[in-house]
Amino acid sequence: MAAGSYMRQVHICEVGPRDGLQNAHHRIPTEAKKAWIQAIAAAGVAEIEVGSFVPPGLIPAMADTAEIVASALRIGNLKVVALAPNVKGFERATAAGAHKITFPVSASRAHSLANVRMEPEKMVEEVRKCVRLRGTKGPEIEAGVSTAFGCTMQGAVPEDDVVRLAVMLAEAGVDCVALADTVGYANPAQIRRVFRRVRGEIGSKLEAAHLHDTRGLGLANALAAFEEGVRHFDSSMGGLGGCPFAPGASGNVITEDLVFMFESMGVPTGIGIEKLMEARAHMVAALPGEPVYGHMALAGLPKGFRAAA
Amino acid sequence: MAAGSYMRQVHICEVGPRDGLQNAHHRIPTEAKKAWIQAIAAAGVAEIEVGSFVPPGLIPAMADTAEIVASALRIGNLKVVALAPNVKGFERATAAGAHKITFPVSASRAHSLANVRMEPEKMVEEVRKCVRLRGTKGPEIEAGVSTAFGCTMQGAVPEDDVVRLAVMLAEAGVDCVALADTVGYANPAQIRRVFRRVRGEIGSKLEAAHLHDTRGLGLANALAAFEEGVRHFDSSMGGLGGCPFAPGASGNVITEDLVFMFESMGVPTGIGIEKLMEARAHMVAALPGEPVYGHMALAGLPKGFRAAA
């Protein structure tokens, strides 16, 4: 855990360098990606998902992840996270030195097959293998339950399936479970219901909410999750990455707006909004022509605004 | 009250033809405005703020309001609302036949002077005169407390000032009070606190939340207000009107996204989303080049989406 995080009430993991860039239209040069990640960390973001260890060649934007992890590790006071879709990815992420490795485990069978070419149950076994491989000294392991609130292929995803999968993952020995609204289908009532049910089953192993803003409900869903006790959120600077099915719609919930919401509510994030804007400028300069989103960046802070103490 | 509203849990007043067009860059021809209002009503919106009776010449986009009110009255099953800034506007709105007349009463002294050229207390007196003029058979009278959550001129607005003003307005005899986040400064914690305090003082006379999305918190604030018991919301189709201080930022909370949020939560609005999209198309066609916003319109409904019963 990074220094300074003791004074955070809410902990934000910036996933733009992974989830954002993976879906972006433009490529960012490796050196610019490193500088952007440094700028994000300099704003006080204590955790960054910097890339994914997918099969080389599958997602060209992620081909430099090992180098990016190495660079991020030199920053200090930063939890460096990488995504892995299988044992092989886990081994590469571990070798690279990532502090935390996150696995996408889809609650939707169709999405699971399309995303990792495995049934959800098979994917749980893959995660279990990694837990065993890690032993006692390896990286933290997170499982993100993808499509936990709906799926563009399957449509509705039964809440029972989400709860069952979260329980299986907790029993497989992961350190923490996140629930992900991968395609922006969630609504606040559903967020409250599903987080409450999963917490009832796996307690404090339920950690993060990974939300998308595809239909504009990202911050409302984050508020609902916060009020259900969630204190860890994934978000992406500039809502980077958009949604391949929704031209003009942002992707992940937007870091700048999420930080603004919490800070304006008096909930400390440990993140400085002005420095966050500098990191945003880095990203915009490094990705010319890429659509970026964010209300706060356009409208500016309210007159007399004070961040949370 | 319009027919059919018995099955609404949330009542939405479309304010685009007033708040939206008043701040839009482009003018809409009077006949197109009438057709747009008809399309909004056809989607099941039971209340529309169709224009304002400001001094002729001051806001050219509102010069046709009497004709627009007359046209809207012929729709039937629609509560026709007009804004009035003073006694003279009230008399014109009453003569035109508006069912409900709403007054902007700023909690910020600086905003009140800039907007209606009166101190807030003087504006309360103006409203009181209108309540007396109305007698027993006139239109419903609403007072909207503007800048209730902050002001671009004054900065923070003390919550005590908002509570005091709401109490004065209730005592002046208005039928209902709305709290307005005129410049998009509110956050969900503040929304909960202020609505709770004002309801504690004036009870069910506190009715609507008028929210803006300038800093992206529009829906999160609407959710917070809903959870505090608010069942009446103002919103604007396409977030029309933007914000004069924030290029690229939407204005009022976006009707389409607000309806989607409530319907997806299982909260009926009485509004049909597909017909609402038709009304949006009317607006887009009638205002070529005008920036319009809305996530739901871009991303589409989730697969298998079902509206609230």
Q: Note whether A220 contacts B261, CB cutoff 8 Å.
A: yes
CATH at A73: 3.20.20.70
- pLDDT in the model for residue A247: 65
pLDDT digits (tens, 9 = 90+) for A145-182: 999 999 999 999 999 999 999 999 999 999 999 999 99
Does A244 contact B at CB distance below 8 Å?
no
As a whole number of angstroms, the distance between CA B58 and CA B75 comes to 28
* Backbone φ and ψ of B189, nearest 5°: -65, -40
Q: Note whether A215 contacts B302, CB cutoff 8 Å.
A: yes
Which residues in chain B are contacts of A245 at CB distance < 8 A? 299-300
Q: Quick one: pLDDT band at residue A82, thresholds 50, 70, 90? A: very high
Whether the predicted pLDDT of A65 surpasses 90: yes
Q: Note whether A217 contacts B261, CB cutoff 8 Å.
A: yes
Q: Among partner residues B190, B249, B266, which is closest to A295 by beta-carbon distance?
A: B249
Whether the predicted pLDDT of A189 surpasses 60: yes
Residue linked to tokens 């009503």: B41
Contact B103, B26 (CB under 8 A): no
- pLDDT in the model for residue A116: 85
For B201, the token pair is 């003082």
Q: What is the mean pLDDT of residues A21-34?
A: 94
pLDDT digits (tens, 9 = 90+) for B76-130: 999 999 999 999 999 999 999 999 999 999 999 999 998 889 999 999 999 999 9
Does B106 contact A at CB distance below 8 Å?
no
Could you tell me how many CB contacts below 8 A there are between chain A and chain B?
137
Q: Quick one: pLDDT band at residue A244, thresholds 50, 70, 90? A: low
pLDDT digits (tens, 9 = 90+) for A98-143: 999 999 999 999 999 988 899 999 999 999 999 999 988 899 999 9
Residue A106: beta bridge partners? A146
- pLDDT in the model for residue A1: 37
Whether the predicted pLDDT of A243 surpasses 80: no
Across A231-235, A254-258, B25-29, B216-220, least confident range: B25-29
Q: What is the mean pLDDT of residues B141-149?
A: 97
Identity of residue B3: A
Tell me if A308 is assigned to some domain.
Answer: no
Q: Among partner residues B153, B156, B220, which is closest to A261 by beta-carbon distance?
A: B220
β-strands A232-235, B11-14 pairing: unpaired
* DSSP output for A71-129: HHHTT-S-EEEEE-SSHHHHHHHHHHT-SEEEEEEESSHHHHHHHHSS-HHHHHHHHHH
Tell me if B90 is assigned to some domain.
Answer: yes
Tell me if B112 is assigned to some domain.
Answer: yes
Min distance A173 CA to chain B CA atoms (Å): 33
As a whole number of angstroms, the distance between CA A187 and CA A189 comes to 6
Domain count, chain A: 1
**In the annotation, is A243 catalytic?**
yes
Tell me if B306 is assigned to some domain.
Answer: no
Interface test with B, best of A193, A212, A298 (most B CBs within 10 A): A298
As a whole number of angstroms, the distance between CA B42 and CA B44 comes to 5
As a whole number of angstroms, the distance between CA A40 and CA A43 comes to 5
Tell me if B230 is assigned to some domain.
Answer: yes
Tell me if A305 is assigned to some domain.
Answer: no
- pLDDT in the model for residue B4: 45
Whether the predicted pLDDT of A249 surpasses 80: no
pLDDT digits (tens, 9 = 90+) for B281-299: 999 999 999 989 999 998 9
Does B298 contact A at CB distance below 8 Å?
yes
Tell me if B238 is assigned to some domain.
Answer: yes
Q: Quick one: pLDDT band at residue A248, thresholds 50, 70, 90? A: low
- pLDDT in the model for residue B5: 47
Interface test with A, best of B221, B227, B303 (most A CBs within 10 A): B303
Contact A297, A256 (CB under 8 A): yes
Q: Among partner residues B185, B217, B267, which is closest to A261 by beta-carbon distance?
A: B217
Q: What is this model's ipTM?
A: 0.94
Q: What residues make up the domain containing B282?
A: 11-299
Q: Quick one: pLDDT band at residue A68, thresholds 50, 70, 90? A: very high
- pLDDT in the model for residue B56: 79
Tell me if A1 is assigned to some domain.
Answer: no
Q: Quick one: pLDDT band at residue B137, thresholds 50, 70, 90? A: confident
